[in-house]
Amino acid sequence: MTLQVTPVLYLGLAVVGAVLAIFPGLLPLAGWLVRTAGIIMTLVCLIAAYLNNFDIYNFQSGGKVKSMGVKKFKRDETNPAKIVEAFLSRNFEYLADLPGGRSEPVQLHIEEDATGREMYCLLTTYDSDSNIVGLADVITLSGNDYDDNIDLIKQMFKDEEDN
- Residue 2 pLDDT more than 50? no
- Using DSSP, state whether 60 is helix, strand or coil: coil
Amino acid at 36: T
Measured between alpha carbons, how far is residue 68 from residues 88, 109, 153 in Å? Answer: 19, 8, 8
Q: Looking at the structure, do residues 105 and 157 belong to the same domain, yes or no?
A: yes
Give the pLDDT band (50/70/90) at residue 4: low
77 or 97, higher pLDDT = 97
122 or 4, higher pLDDT = 122
pTM value? Answer: 0.66
Which range marks the domain in which residue 141 is found? 57-162
Q: Looking at the structure, do residues 112 and 34 belong to the same domain, yes or no?
A: no
Q: In the chain, what percentage of residues exceed pLDDT 70?
A: 90
The counts of H helices and E strands in the chain are 5, 6
Q: Looking at the structure, do residues 67 and 40 belong to the same domain, yes or no?
A: no
Q: Which residues pair with 134 in a beta bridge?
A: 124
Q: Domain count of the chain?
A: 2
* The predicted structure's pLDDT at residue 33: 94
